Structures are given as structure tokens and as C-alpha cells.
Amino acid sequence: MSIENNDIRISAKNINFYYGPKKALNNLNIDFYANKVTSFIGPSGCGKSTFIRLINRMNDLVPNTKAEGEILLDGENILDPKTDVVKIRRKIGMVFQKPNPFPKTIFQNIAYGLEINGEKNKKVIAQTVEESLKKAALWNEVKDRLHDNALKLSGGQQQRLCIARCLAVEPEVILFDEPCASLDPISTNKIEELILDLKKNYTIAIVTHNMQQAARVSDYTAFMYLGELIEFGATEKMFVAPSNPKTEEYLSGKFG
């Protein structure tokens, strides 16, 4: 489903996805717009996480899966077997439901991605670490303990560190898969404020079970059910006057 013709950053066309014989996604068509936040809502098991993991080829790590269709970024089909997956994951960063910092220092968590991509200049690395932590609204909280183990941080700080780690390699797109599911309300608020700030420079997609969160942070919302995209549109319109009766039932709490 497309809304407008300009500023499309990612375009997914005729997407089907299978876990073995089970079809998990059925003929999805959706566009992601530059510098906008698109949220995916729907009951558990409807295919939200499966779809966004397809966008940076995370599902490659799951055995006996198959994808059909095209996901275009910069004119390149992400799903093409010849696509350089490492390059795609640099362009499309991902932040997961549970914060997953490396068991290294705060500094090393961010420097690692730069170093494996060939950056050797220590001054550049140090500057990028600082800039990434600032972008993730974490610098002021950790600047005096960069060489402490990242696992000592609170859950909310760990999640922002994972966001900083993602930003350090300069992605174009950031995918958030339930980024606040394990966080307290104060940490959730910080992550939401961060997402709103990051969209100035990135295209963002977020999977969330929290409909209020979708309403707060997203420009567009996609409602999925049983592997299908039921409705896609401007968040404000969808939450006030959804077009599809199934969307209205879900938003009003009749199932989910």
C-alpha cells in the first residue's frame, strides 16, 4: 500500500515469507517514507517482527525459511541472493526488544562496529563514539565512565547504548523491534523522545504492541493480522477513523 509518490525510502512489493511449509507473510506491499516513523501494530504472531527482520536479512539466520518478492532500497533488491548482506546491515540498523550490549566497555561497544568495518584512526573512533552517544541522548550519563562494563548500565541506558552502537556505523534506516517492551515508563519515554529526534536524519520503522506508543511516535501506521497488511495510513487518521472494520475492532480492544 502506498500513500504518496515522493520520498519513498524503502519499497516492499509482493512479499511472501515461509517458515518451512507455513506461510507467515502474505503478499505484503508497503512503502517507507524518508524521515518518517512507520509503526507496525497487530496481535502477537501476525508477522510484524518477521517482516521488519526481512528488511535487513535477519531471517537469513533462521533455517528452512524462504522469502519471495522485492524490497527495494536505493534501487537495489535487498532480497536478491547476490546482495551484500553486510552492506545491507550497515545501511539498515536494528534495535531489538531486549537490550543486547556486548560484554565489553561502553566505549568498546560502539567502537567495535567501526573497527570491524576497517576504521583504524583512534581519534576518529573516539569522536564517533562521543557523537553516537550524544545522538542517543546518553553521553551526559556515561561520559565519565566510558571504560566501565556496559552490563552495569540500567536497562534503559543499555537500550540507548544499543541505539548509539547502531548509529555509529551511519545507517540510513533504523528498525526497532519492540524497543521498550522490557523498559520502565521513564526509560520508555526517553526512547520515544529519541525516536522522534532521530527521524530528522533517519527513516524509522517500529514494531510495537503498545498502541498509545504508535500514536505518540509514528507518522504512519500499518496494521497486520494473520500475516497480511490489513490497513496502512497516516497514524492520526487510522486511530480516529480507520477504513477497515478489522482495524477498528483491534484498536477498540475487541481482539488482540
- The topology (CATH level 3) of 8-251 is Rossmann fold (3.40.50)
How many helical (H) and strand (E) elements, i.e. helices and strands, does the chain have? 10, 10
**Mean per-residue pLDDT, 65-73:** 96
pLDDT tens profile 179-221: 999 899 999 999 999 999 999 999 999 999 999 999 999 999 9
pLDDT tens profile 87-141: 899 899 999 999 999 999 999 999 998 998 889 999 999 999 999 999 999 999 9
Residue 6 is predicted with a pLDDT of: 60
The mean pLDDT of the chain is 93
Phi, psi of 105 (to 5 degrees): -70, 165
Domain ranges of the chain: 8-251
**Nearest CA among 230, 246, 251, 238 for reference residue 28:** 230
Residue 2 is predicted with a pLDDT of: 44
**Is residue 90 within a helix (H) or strand (E), and if so which, with residue range?**
helix 85-91
Q: Supply the pTM of this predicted model.
A: 0.92
User: With 60 as the cut, is the pLDDT of residue 4 above it?
Assistant: no
